[in-house]
Amino acid sequence: MPLKIILVANTDWYLYNFRASLMRDLRSRGAEVVLVSPPGEFAASFRDWGFRWLPWEVGRKTVAPWQETGAIFALARLYRAERPDLVHHHTIKPSIYGTLAARLVGVPAIVNAVTGRGYVFLGEDYRARLLRALIQPVYRLILRSSRVGMIFENQVDRDDFIARRLVPAERTWLIESVGVDPNRFRPQPEPEGVPVVLLAARMLWDKGVGILAEAARILKSRKVAARVVLVGLPDPGNPASIPEKTLLAWQDDGILEWWGWRAAMENVYPQSHIVTLPSFYGEGVPTTLLEAAACARPLVAADIPGARSVISSGENGFLVPPQDALSLADALARLVEAPDLRRKMGQAARRTVLQKFTQQQVNAATIAVYEHLLPELSSVQRGN
């Protein structure tokens, strides 16, 4: 029988957008791949691709495992029924709940991918500090098993988990990003007309959307000829979600355009001249920056660890201080007014992706982690 691998996330959107290449790669190597997430509009696509998808109900707004014991036991029942050889959990909550569930039923190998430390580890209010104090012992308990491996997207997050003694250093790996397909996202000439500054993300305050709106006002007051465009939707399950009425108000004020959801982003980036992501909260390597870089667009982002992995400031884009609308406006204006610099930085951005951020490279590194925890996988890959 083929080895069975289950990929788990807290939205089907995550698996659809960021793990399609990995699931196909695993299938091509002879593994059976099962997908698990809460129900959503993308689950039908998994079936169309020939994968089994199973629903898992889990809350988005709660952050403490004792608040959702039902979700943990539901996942344990699913694992007991499916009997996977390896489970791969994505983001903090599935990692905690999934590891508890997998250890309850004896799953042989467990991989957790931390794409950012999130509110519990980065928040400084009373609630965050309390949750941190309560959750850290849970982490220490569940992550010390030799069956558990942790993948981090940036070194800062990895070092933080090790320093807190949440996971032994020898069972951590650094894989920067989920990768990008450079054949799907490829260079195209800039469109004619007024330069377009694009932000593509969920419409969340901590993605820096509000900071960009402020920067857009500054650009407008300086009479800098630029169109600032937002692509993405609010996320009602996230406390940082920006109300739709706020987005529409910005648009009505004439400071930016909100295009809503766009499925084929490979057709959206070529409509831009500059891509920005002034996110100021801890996250992994932002996929939107990699996709834009693959399309040879210069990048402007807040100087935080994930963006730092992609952007060499002054070479393929600019890093600006977090939550600094004035510095963001200055960097954008510089690129808006310098087409030769945009092209030079865009070409450098494309080279950055080809050097270390392709899906082929990331998938190979991820599967190497699987093999470390589950040596049987290497024989499956050789067709034995």
Confirm whether 275 is domain-assigned: yes
Domain assignment present for residue 187? The answer is no
- Average pLDDT rounded to a whole number, residues 97-110: 95
Contact at 8 Å (CB) between 69 and 40? no
Over residues 81-98, the mean pLDDT reads 93
- The band of 284, judged by pLDDT with boundaries at 50, 70 and 90, is confident
**Residues 284, 306: one domain?**
yes
Average pLDDT over residues 189-209: 96
Q: Are residues 218 and 111 in the same domain?
A: no
The pLDDT assigned to 169 comes to 92
State whether residue 210 is helix, strand or coil.
helix
Contacts (Cβ under 8 Å, ≥6 apart) of 177? 153, 284, 285, 287, 290, 309, 310, 357, 362
Residues 27 and 142 in one domain: yes
pLDDT of residue 134: 76
Q: What is the pLDDT of residue 183?
A: 96
Mean pLDDT of the 24-53 span: 95
Residue with tokens 């509000």: 210
Tally of domains in the chain = 2
Using the predicted structure, report yes or no on whether residue 378 has a pLDDT greater than 80. no
Q: 133-137, 143-147, 185-189, 261-265: lowest mean pLDDT where?
A: 133-137
Confirm whether 189 is domain-assigned: no
E-strand ranges in 291-365 read 299-302, 317-320
Q: Convert 343-357 into a string of H (helix), E (strand) and C (coil).
A: HHHHHHHHHHHHHHC
Inside any domain, residue 188: no
Mean pLDDT of the 184-206 span: 96
Residues counted in the chain? 384
CATH of the domain at 51: 3.40.50.2000
171 and 289, same structural domain? no
Nearest C-alpha neighbor of 120 from the set 173, 73, 160, 75: 160
Is 185 part of any domain?
no
Please tell me whether the overall predicted TM-score, pTM, comes out greater than 0.85 for this model.
Answer: yes
Is residue 125's pLDDT more than 50? yes
Query: How would residue 117 be classed by pLDDT, with cut points 50, 70 and 90?
Result: low
Same domain, 364 and 376: yes
Please indicate, yes or no, whether residues 252 and 105 belong to a single structural domain of this protein. Answer: no
CA–CA dist 366, 360 (Å, integer): 10
pLDDT score at 229: 98
Amino acid 233: pLDDT? 95
Query: In terms of domains, do 206 and 115 share one?
Result: no
Nearest to 304 by CA among 333, 331, 278, 274: 278
282 within domain boundaries: yes
Question: What is the structure's pLDDT at 383?
Answer: 45
Domain-embedded: residue 166 = yes
Asked if residue 122 and residue 175 are part of one domain, the reply reads yes
**How high is the pLDDT of residue 122?**
63
CB atoms within 10 A of CB 57: 12
- In sequence order, the 6+-apart residues with CB closer than 8 A to the CB of 358 are 179, 180, 181, 182
Residues 171 and 236 in one domain: no
- The per-residue pLDDT for 62 is 59
Question: Are residues 233 and 296 both part of a single domain?
Answer: yes
Instruction: Give the residue-averaged pLDDT of 198-209.
Output: 96
- Please indicate, yes or no, if residue 159 is contained in any of the structural domains: yes
Question: Do 9 and 86 belong together in one domain?
Answer: yes
Q: Are residues 204 and 156 in the same domain?
A: no
CB 85 within 8 A of CB 109: yes
User: Which residue range(s) make up the domain with 301?
Assistant: 196-356
